[in-house]
Chains A and B, each alone.
Chain A
Amino acid sequence: EDKVVQSPLSLVVHEGDTVTLNCSYEVTNFRSLLWYKQEKKAPTFLFMLTSSGIEKKSGRLSSILDKKELFSILNITATQTGDSAVYLCAVPLPSGGSYIPTFGRGTSLIVHP
């Protein structure tokens, strides 16, 4: 079964709206949770979260982790058309003594002018 689940799978908003993207995970020995933005091909790094309750911010984007409830949210305020992309969440899952970065299906965000 899926270990990293993102919701919603798609979202259509207008410029200026605020959006909240969700990522829930099932993992023992949690190490981190990563958010990536994928516009065309290469996913680009947004945030890495390791501690619960500490918000990471970068401009209009912010993210927070809840290790007790096993989820993270990514907020984008005052959305712009340039925010249109697929947002991916990844959690390193333990495998054979190491960790495999495991991605969710992503949330496709479309921002209309």
Chain B
Amino acid sequence: DAGVTQSPTHLIKTRGQQVTLRCSPKSGHDTVSWYQQALGQGPQFIFQYYEEEERQRGNFPDRFSGHQFPNYSSELNVNALLLGDSALYLCASSFLYWQGDTGELFFGEGSRLTVL
């Protein structure tokens, strides 16, 4: 049973470029959340997708956008990259639009983005 998979694992971009990160949720899960984790910080919530719609959004600018596909996989897009976007981007999956009391979130290994 595959867990949460993310790609790519590492990537380097320059300021102003655009990046797309991908996530496949754990088998049987239908909700995907994206987090940004800067060095020495806890994961910061970006947004959550359920039934192909963005359901919740954290305090991130519109440069951060996403998509969920019918197979529940998801993409995170970041436009006009800034140096401060350098971080580990984590994807977490859960079942039935996680409301906080129905079990754990399963995390992928993350995508390490470096912006030069």
Q: In the complex, which residues of chain B have a beta carbon less than 8 angstroms from the beta carbon of A99?
A: 98-100
Which of A79-113 touch B at CB < 8 Å? Answer: 88, 90, 92, 95-96, 98-106
In the complex, whether B24 has a CB less than 8 A from a CB of chain A is no
Report the interface size for chain B: residues with CB under 8 A from the other chain. 30
Contact indicator B42/A98 (Cβ below 8 Å) = no
- A43–B33 Cα gap in the complex (Å)? 14
In the complex, whether A61 has a CB less than 8 A from a CB of chain B is no
Main SS at interface, chain B: loop
> Known contacts A100-B56, A101-B98; is A106 also within 8 Å of B107 by CB?
no
A-contact 0/1 string along B90-116, CB 8 Å cutoff: 101000011111011111111010000
Contact indicator B100/A92 (Cβ below 8 Å) = yes
Query: Contact partner of B106 among A45, A95, A98, A105, CB < 8 A?
Result: A45
- A42–B109 Cα gap in the complex (Å)? 4
Residue on B nearest A35 in the bound complex, by CB: B104
Interface set of B (CB-CB < 8 Å, partner A): 4, 33, 35, 40-45, 48, 55-56, 58, 88, 90, 92, 97-101, 103-110, 112
Interface set of A (CB-CB < 8 Å, partner B): 4, 6, 31-32, 34, 36, 41-45, 48, 50, 88, 90, 92, 95-96, 98-106
